[in-house]
Amino acid sequence: MEILASGCLATTFVWLQHRGGLREAATSTRPGIRERWHRPLATGQRRAGIALGALRPGSASVRARRVDGGYVLDGESPWVTGWDMIDTLCAAARDERDTVVWALLDAEAGRGLSVEPLDLVAVRASRTVLVRFDGYRVADERVTGAHPYAEWAERDAAGLRLNGFLALGVAARCVALLGATPLAVALDECRSALVSGTPDVAQARAAAAALAVRAAAALAVTQGAGAVLRGSHAERLSREALFLLVFGSRPAIRSALSRRLLY
C-alpha cells in the first residue's frame, strides 16, 4: 500500500475503496451474495466504491426504511470516491431501530440516486462525489448484511490501520526525492509503529499523517521557489499531505494529530 501510494496516491486511494466492496462480498453470509459478487469484484471485472456516511456518529445521514421485498434509502453520503470509474457501490444505511443495513448497489445516477462532484484540492482524479438517495429502492437480493450500529465501532477499528499507509507513501516519495536525511529514519519508525499498532493505531495514524506534512514541507524548502509552481513534486505532495490530515479520520486520530501539531 505504501509503495503504491508513493507512486500514485489517487490510484491507490480509488483501489482502496474497492477493497471495501470486495470484503463485503467475500464475507457476506446472505444467500447468493458471495456467488454473484465475489468473483467479479475479486478479478476487477466489477469495481466498487463505498458509501459509509451513514455510519458517522449521531443521527444517520442515510436512512433505510423496510418495504415489501427490500428497503428504501433516503439521505446523503457526503464522500464517495471513484464515481464514473466504479460500477458497484457498497452502501451503508441505518433503519429506525439503528440497525446498519449493507447493500451492493449499481453505481449509476437516476432512479432515486444523484451525485454532486466535489472540487478537491488533491487526488482530484479520484472523482469523489457526494451521493444523495431520494426514495432509492434496494431489493433484498442486494442486501449483504445487517448488524446493530453499536457494533460498528469495533468493526471499523479493524480497518483503520490500512489508511495510514497512504500517508507513509506520500512521506516515502518525499524521502526518495530528498535523498539521505534523518526523515528516512523517521519513516522507518512510523512504518514500524503502524505495522505493530503501537502505542495504538490512532497514535500511529497521527504520526504517519504528521510525517507526510513534515516531509512535504521539507521537500518544498529544499526545492525553493520552484515548489510553488503548479506541477512541481513539492506542491502536489503538499496538497496530498493536507488531504491525508483529514481523510479517514476518527475522533481519536484527530485528537492525537491535533496534539502533535498544536503542542
Question: Of the candidates 44, 57, 135, 148, which one interacts with ligand FAD according to CB under 6 A?
Answer: 57
- CA distance linking residue 6 with residue 117, whole number of Å: 25
DSSP codes joined into one string, 189-247 = HHHHHHHHT-S-HHHHHHHHHHHHHHHHHHHHHHHGGGGGSTT-HHHHHHHHHHHHHHT
Using the minimum distance from each CB to ligand FAD, give the nearer residue, 151 or 189. 151
User: Which grid coordinates are listed for 256?
Assistant: 492525537
Question: Of the candidates 208, 247, 256, 257, which one interacts with ligand FAD according to CB under 6 A?
Answer: 247
Report how many residues bind ligand FAD under the rule CB under 6 A.
Answer: 22
Percent helix, percent strand, percent coil in the chain, to nearest 5: 55, 20, 25
| Stretch touching ligand FAD by CB under 6 A, among 52-60, 66-74, 171-179, 217-225 | 52-60
Compute the least distance from the CB of residue 205 to ligand FAD, in Å: 11
**Residues 183 and 218 sit within 8 Å (Cβ to Cβ):** yes
**Residues 112 and 48 sit within 8 Å (Cβ to Cβ):** no
21 lies in the binding site for ligand FAD (CB under 6 A): no
Q: Which residues pair with 204 in a beta bridge?
A: none
| Stretch touching ligand FAD by CB under 6 A, among 39-47, 55-63, 182-190, 224-232 | 55-63
| Stretch touching ligand FAD by CB under 6 A, among 43-51, 102-110, 172-180, 230-238 | 43-51
**Residues 16 and 2 sit within 8 Å (Cβ to Cβ):** no
Question: Of the candidates 56, 111, 147, 155, which one interacts with ligand FAD according to CB under 6 A?
Answer: 56
Per-residue binding letters, 68-97, with ligand FAD (x by CB under 6 A): -----------xxx----------------
- CA distance linking residue 263 with residue 142, whole number of Å: 48
Per-residue binding letters, 137-166, with ligand FAD (x by CB under 6 A): -------------------x----------
Residues that bind ligand FAD (CB under 6 A): 17, 49-53, 55-57, 79-81, 120, 128, 156, 246-251, 254
